[in-house]
Structure 1
Amino acid sequence: MSGWTLGIIGGSGLYGVAGVEDGRWETVETPWGPPSDACYVGRMGHVRVVFLPRHGRGHRIPPSDLNARANIDALKRLGVTDVLAISSVGSLVEDRPPGSFTVVDQFIDRTRGRPSSFFGPGLVAHVSIADPVCSRLSALAVDAARAAGADVSPTGTYLAMEGPQFSTRAESRLYRSWGCDVIGMTAMPEAKLAREAELPYALVGMVTDYDCWREGEAVDTAEIIAQLGANAAKARALVQHLVAALPEERPASPIDTCLDAALLTAPAMRDPALVALLDAIAGRALRSS
């Protein structure tokens, strides 16, 4: 078995992955509450994989109620080393039509009231998310998407909105003026939390619609559902191609140790209760500092 344990977070329409051997559902308890669902743990060739349906099986959990801290903590407890997130998104530009994929490299976070950090009073940390995704994993995702037959854009800015309602036309036009390429409701604070957990993270956005910036058009849930099936089939193929392309041994990433430069609170002043909550997320860094 290689050093890779790939965590796969499946968004709308992707509630499972193909080709997993010796798979089993594992329930994980976290100090942040329950994750969205049990995790499906197995292997694909030389890579151990952990699949988590972001909205739960049957799509039970709306975006604003996702417990992103519990989801990331659960993946970390199961030994995940890298995270591939897959999400349904709307397109804010003409050349990213429904059915295409975007491998996101930047975010604008417009969510409200969602816990966005594992740290707080008694243990302060500031991680850099200037570059919020892992360039190595993202490049592999681009290649895998192409191998799966997807029309894929290798970069893109993701506008994270609160939801659960879709945008107004004025909002959609505003986000376009900001240079955003796709829009969704779930990647934040997920990407921020993955960085705090020292997990290299890549996000593949599967386009289902054009949001509502086009004259006379609006988001239609029935059309989105129809598009989800085709997108999910390509996403499952993408996962298989990506796993097959991973080298036998996982090279180290700077993200693996990013907390070393992020912890500010002096060891003697750290809140023991918060330190205990962070056993999986920051245990490596806390033990070495």
Structure 2
Amino acid sequence: MIGLIGGSGIYEALDLDAGHEETVETPFGAPSGSVTVGELDGREIAFLPRHGPDHELSPTEVPYRANIYALKQLGVDRVLATNAVGSLREELPPQTLVVPDQLFDRTRHRTTSFFGDGMVVHMGFAEPYCPHMTSHLAAAAETVDDGAGAGSGAEAGVEEGGTYVCIEGPQYSTRAESEFYRAQGWDIVGMTAVPEAKLAREAELCYATVAGVTDYDVWKEDSEVSLQEVLDNAAANEERINATIRRAIETMPDERDCDCAHALDGTINTAAEAIPDETRERLTLLAGDYLD
């Protein structure tokens, strides 16, 4: 099963066959909303709107742990996500699609791990997005753009790779912050990739995202990001993002050719017999195979 997490502007699932709503309960509370489960091109799909069906959850309030756990519980092993982001580079104008391969975490008020409470896990995160999924998603985006004709063209095309700096929000950056991010050589700025990517790795899910540029943040002299600009460009990006996701699903290999499925192997630093029963029970779905 492939999981889809829809970001700003993507609140409804693709046109799925035999679609129905699943209400999922998790040890980490309720997810952002019910999960739409159905089929696309013969593949089982589970769709979840990150901010809720009416965008009622701020970036800090999103129940990231419940969302990832719910998808895992339903049988998802790969997750495709979408994000609305600001551009930190002149050559990435609004309506560009970016498939990032790196993350920088500037959040401050979020729980970034399933683990703790008597179970210590130290997991490698050098490659925060699944490399195979990232390449596959970028290729799907390029195919969509190539087939769309000149209208989607070179000015707002597709960028494979780049660093997504994730800020706490919900406020946009100060001008000083935006200039700092640019000085580091980072490419796009958003509010929701963390801890989602970290939790997906802990849950041994492949994870990649296609980010739609909505604005130039506030570094550009003639640009002052506003909610209306973000909403307008998010709406303009929606068709290409959905087409990219659809293409990625249609061409998804049957087997996972990566290490994500074994990400927890060798990372648990607490002796199994020392882990409290309550913690063990809560984390059986994620780590049970490593605790037996």
Which category describes the TM-score, using the shorter chain as reference length? over 0.9
Q: CA–CA distance in 2 between the matches of 1:16 and 1:102?
A: 21
Mapped pair 1:125 → 2:90? no
Q: CA–CA distance in 1 between the matches of 2:109 and 2:290?
A: 28
| Residue equivalent to 1:45 | 41
Q: Residues 49-106 of structure 1: CA distance to partner in whole angstroms, max 9, x if unpaired? A: 1110000101110101111010110010000011111100000001111001110111
| Residue equivalent to 1:27 | 23
SS in 2 for 1:259: coil
Give how far 1:237 is off: 0.6
| Residue equivalent to 1:237 | 243
| Residue equivalent to 1:72 | 68
Q: Which amino acid aligns with 2:272?
A: P
SS in 1 for 2:286: coil
Mapped pair 1:255 → 2:251? no
Q: Residues 146-180 of structure 1: CA distance to partner in whole angstroms, max 9, x if unpaired? A: 12226111101001000000011000000111111
Structure 1 moving runs of 4+ over 6 Å: none
SS in 1 for 2:46: strand
- Conserved 8 A contact 1:109-1:159: yes
| Residue equivalent to 2:148 | none
- Conserved 8 A contact 1:90-1:184: yes
Q: CA–CA distance in 2 between the matches of 1:86 and 1:244?
A: 17
2:190 corresponds to which of 158, 167, 184: 184
Mapped pair 1:169 → 2:175? yes
1:206 corresponds to which of 200, 212, 221: 212
Q: CA–CA distance in 2 between the matches of 1:258 and 1:223?
A: 39
Give how far 1:19 is off: 3.1
Q: CA–CA distance in 2 between the matches of 1:77 and 1:132?
A: 22
Q: CA–CA distance in 2 between the matches of 1:192 and 1:270?
A: 22
Q: Which amino acid aligns with 1:147?
A: T
Q: Which amino acid aligns with 1:66?
A: V
- Conserved 8 A contact 2:13-2:36: no
Q: CA–CA distance in 1 between the matches of 2:108 and 2:136?
A: 32
Write the mapping of 1:47-126 to structure 2, written as runs, cut at 5 A.
47-126=43-122
Q: CA–CA distance in 2 between the matches of 1:266 and 1:186?
A: 33
Q: CA–CA distance in 2 between the matches of 1:252 and 1:223?
A: 39
Matched residues, number: 282
Structure 1 residues 66 and 99: alpha-carbon distance in aligned structure 2, compared to 1, 3 A threshold: same
1:160 corresponds to which of 153, 166, 177: 166
Mapped pair 1:136 → 2:139? no
Give how far 1:252 is off: 4.8
CA RMSD of aligned residues (A): 1.2
Give how far 1:251 is off: 3.4
Q: Residues 199-234 of structure 1: CA distance to partner in whole angstroms, max 9, x if unpaired? A: 111011110000000114210211111111121111
Question: Which runs of 5 or more residues in structure 2 are unaligned?
Answer: 146-151
Relative to the length of structure 2, the TM-score reads 0.94
Q: CA–CA distance in 2 between the matches of 1:252 and 1:105?
A: 17
Q: CA–CA distance in 2 between the matches of 1:107 and 1:145?
A: 20
SS in 2 for 1:148: helix
Give how far 1:253 is off: 2.8
Question: Which runs of 5 or more residues in structure 1 are unaligned?
Answer: none
- Conserved 8 A contact 1:19-1:240: no
Q: CA–CA distance in 2 between the matches of 1:237 and 1:203?
A: 14
- Conserved 8 A contact 1:99-1:207: yes
Q: CA–CA distance in 2 between the matches of 1:8 and 1:53?
A: 8
